[in-house]
Amino acid sequence: MSEGIESLTGSQFTTFVVLVDDCVGEHVYENRAQLRSIPYLKEFGFDRVIHDDLWDNNFRLVDYVLLNPNEVDPETVEFPLVHVTNQENLVENGEQHLVRGLLRERSREDPYILVVDTDSPSTPAYTTRKSVRDEFVPNTVTRFERSVEDYIDEHLDSTLPTADTRNLYYHRISHQHNKVGAPADSLPDLFDYDKAPPNSPAWEPLYYFVNHDLERILEEYTERIREALRSWTERGDVMKIANNMDSMLTRCQFSEAQLNEQRERNEGLYPDV
């Protein structure tokens, strides 16, 4: 039995978990935050993730191994696995065949976490009468939002409202800022680089844009930053965060050396860091 699964679900009897997250589903307006569960699942040691290439813009808030659903062989892939998808992708993009293959080929000891927008994911190419939960037992259903909220309440001193975001990455930044008295109550606060502690994870995305995406940023950098954040962040503050990042990148002239200098200047604000 995986300790990570037991810590995540509280169950000692199953390694197949359906983690229900509405954000992975199709929405009337703009889809976003499909990958918000990944930082939380990585907390439990799960960092091998299958998800649609459309959600991958080569920007990651946390490191993980990305597996293309069209290239995964259920007979040879290594577990544990996280599979982020939705009911539409299961049907329209054929991921239902992958899900069934993985559930059929894995052993009872192999953790498989299916992050999906329904608690009864179905594979209609095989049966319309039963969901995969009915066919592949035992299993556990966990609601992402409640699970991550409970984790934040128990383990972190975050003052960032979960109504704004349930991405654990942002709550970890809030927790770290609170320890030193830095702004921590809203997403724009976390990325106020005039006040961010020098050891804050909020700086790391700036280095990504400088080192890996400079050409595109120079052409249309604000929109690129928004695009990068969209798969990780719920509605509301993406533009404000992007503007804060844009402002600091421009001030530092997209230079890593000048970015380092700005961080060093902020050390004076937090002598105990």
pLDDT reading at 110 higher than 80: yes
pLDDT reading at 236 higher than 90: no
Residue 233 lies in a domain: yes
pLDDT reading at 100 higher than 60: yes
Q: Are residues 117 and 182 located together in one domain of the fold?
A: no
Q: CA 265, CA 197: separation in Å to the nearest integer?
A: 10
CA distances from 74 to 105, 130, 257 (A): 6, 22, 45
Length of the chain: 273
Residue 124 lies in a domain: yes
Residue 151 lies in a domain: no
Among residues 146, 180, 207, which one ends one of the domains? 146
Q: Are residues 78 and 189 located together in one domain of the fold?
A: no
Residue 160 lies in a domain: no
Q: Which domain holds residue 220?
A: 165-269
Q: Are residues 260 and 180 located together in one domain of the fold?
A: yes
CATH code for the domain in which residue 140 is found: 3.40.50
Q: Are residues 175 and 110 located together in one domain of the fold?
A: no
The percent of residues above 70 in pLDDT, for the chain, comes to 94
pLDDT reading at 1 higher than 70: no
pLDDT averaged over every residue in the chain: 91
Residue 127 lies in a domain: yes
Give tens-digit pLDDT for 39-87.
999 999 999 999 998 888 788 899 999 999 999 999 999 999 999 999 9
Using CB atoms within 10 A of its CB, is residue 184 exposed (0-12), middle (13-18) or buried (19+)? buried
Residue 62 lies in a domain: yes
* Inter-residue contact 54 to 146 (CB < 8 Å): no
Q: Which pTM value belongs to this model?
A: 0.93
Give tens-digit pLDDT for 196-220.
999 999 999 999 888 875 555 555 6
Among residues 116, 146, 176, which one ends one of the domains? 146
Q: CA 186, CA 171: separation in Å to the nearest integer?
A: 10
Q: Are residues 127 and 175 located together in one domain of the fold?
A: no
Q: Are residues 89 and 130 located together in one domain of the fold?
A: yes
Q: Which of 10, 4, 9 is nearest to 44 (CA)?
A: 4
Rounded CA Rg of the chain: 20
Q: CA 69, CA 82: separation in Å to the nearest integer?
A: 11
* Inter-residue contact 46 to 63 (CB < 8 Å): no
Q: Are residues 111 and 188 located together in one domain of the fold?
A: no
The DSSP H or E segment spanning 190 is helix 187-190
Q: CA 196, CA 263: separation in Å to the nearest integer?
A: 8
Q: Are residues 84 and 180 located together in one domain of the fold?
A: no
pLDDT confidence of residue 215? 53
Cα four-point dihedral sign 85, 90, 93, 97? positive
Mean pLDDT of 106-132: 95
| Helix, strand, coil abundance in the chain, percent, nearest 5 | 45, 10, 45
The percent of residues above 90 in pLDDT, for the chain, comes to 75
Give tens-digit pLDDT for 12-40.
789 999 999 999 986 544 668 999 999 99
Q: How many structural domains comprise the chain? A: 2
* Inter-residue contact 132 to 106 (CB < 8 Å): no
Q: CA 50, CA 116: separation in Å to the nearest integer?
A: 12
Q: Are residues 130 and 234 located together in one domain of the fold?
A: no
Q: Are residues 32 and 136 located together in one domain of the fold?
A: yes
Q: CA 162, CA 90: separation in Å to the nearest integer?
A: 29
Got the DSSP string for 35-99?
TTTHHHHHTTT--EEEE-GGG--S--SS--EEE-TTT--TTTPPSSEEEE--HHHHHHSSHHHHH
What the block records as the tokens of 77 is 């892939």
Residue 158 lies in a domain: no
